[in-house]
Amino acid sequence: MERLSAFGERCTAVGDVRGRGLLFGVELVRDRVDFAPDNALAERAYYRCLDAGLSLKISGGNVMTLSPPLVIAREELDWALTIVEQSILAG
């Protein structure tokens, strides 16, 4: 959660990061003024994640939802979060 929150503060396309336990949501927006959903960015980022071998869901059209297994190793979680961050930054 710390890593995603820090990324969300640096990346203007992230409107909100929320989660509980190992369920995370990264809301993608066009800008942080009106928080208009950026469904197109969410779709592009989703397919980039799939191409990199990471499966996730899109909720509400603009929220990338990650739910890794409870037995995930720290290295695997870092790998997944790197893919998510890179897919969003690629626009």
Which stretches of the chain are assigned E, i.e. beta strand?
14-20, 23-28, 57-59, 63-66
How many domains is the chain built from?
A: 1
Predicted local confidence at residue 68, as pLDDT:
92
| Domain of residue 81, CATH code | 3.90.1150.10
Average pLDDT over residues 1-18: 94
Q: pLDDT per residue over 31-86, tens digit each?
A: 888 999 999 999 999 999 999 999 999 999 999 999 999 899 999 999 999 999 99
| Residue 56 belongs to domain spanning | 2-89
Q: Is the pLDDT of residue 11 over 90?
A: yes
Comparing C-alpha atoms, which of 51, 75, 59 is closest to residue 18? Answer: 59
This model's pTM is above 0.85: yes
Instruction: Give how far Cα 71 sits from Cα of 35, 42, 64, Å.
Output: 34, 27, 21
